[in-house]
Structure 1
């Protein structure tokens, strides 16, 4: 399976990118780094700069049909930048329109809120997003991992400490 990882040029929480990426790679899937700019992205370890990663393709030059699923890593700045980029928001929205599975962790559901795809869905996130999710018509729950079985599967998780469960859910749900 070919899985898109959508990030902004900077601000992604490194472990929320690398951990699911590694789990999918080890299971024989092909992760693809999609960003709003070409070149490299700058990851962070909370507020400190961490590693950089090469962008495989720029959003707007690729369609959701090219992928079997989408992973949205968190970090506070990453989804905030993504939700301000209409091409990124439309890319996310298109996965829902096509019924393809989407996984989001930590602050990443901000991008889902901007794409107007949480209405009627139950999801989890970093606790500070609770009001945003509720105001967008979603139901927020405080769970390690939440799988909403709507038109497409939506896998969400709260924070880096939940990554083991998040990775297991992605592997199971993306393969189903």
Structure 2
């Protein structure tokens, strides 16, 4: 069984987390049944951008990162404290661990800034929130990333994306990296994406 660590920061966007829980949940029950997703945070209770509160299954300080095969990180809103957790050294160390092991890392929207802050995007291609009024691309560039103007950017084992609308595509790319194209196609069909 391949384990995905879904790393949540206070202020995360629920929809960006839910694409991972749903895609990997469908795979666990209806796909090839080879994956399991575990929610993890810096504390047991995490609040999302719109005040939805979740109790994570595990806390960063209590887990063995070696037991996980991939990392998924949803973005969130600065206005509700997303970067307080997302830039916390404990959060960044999780990211560095997965990068050092060349394990898949998938981020949505501004979660790529946490990857940048951790140092793993230095001289790598990446993207982040891309609305014309946003300054997030400049922030990502300041972390040493080669910013691309694409909805989704994959550089080796790292996936970054430009907005919440890319969420399902990112989750399916991660599923494909951990299973197969055929299995991912089946899960997509079961979820109604190929109709």
Q: State the TM-score, normalized to the length of structure 2.
A: 0.79
Q: Deviations over 1:22-65 (max 9, x none)?
A: 10111122111110112x22123xxx32x222211111221321
**Residue in 1 that maps onto 2:37:** 31
CA RMSD of aligned residues (A): 1.6
Q: Which has the higher helix share?
A: 2
Greater radius of gyration (CA): 2
Residue 68 to residue 87, structure 1, CA distance change in 2 (3 Å):
same
3-state SS of 2:21 partner:
helix
Q: Which has the higher strand share?
A: 1
Residues 1-176 of structure 1: matches in 2 within 5 Å?
1-8=2-9, 10-28=10-28, 29-38=35-44, 40-44=45-49, 48-49=50-51, 51-77=52-78, 79-127=82-130, 128-149=135-156, 153-175=157-179
Q: Give the CA deviation at 1:72.
A: 0.7
Q: Which segment is superposed worse, 111-120 or 82-91?
A: 82-91
Contact 1:79 1:107 (8 Å CA) reproduced: no
Long gaps (5+) in structure 1: none
Q: 2:82, 2:178 → 1: CA distance?
A: 22
Contact 1:80 1:110 (8 Å CA) reproduced: no
Long gaps (5+) in structure 2: 29-34, 181-195
Runs (4 or more) in structure 1 with deviation over 6 Å come to none
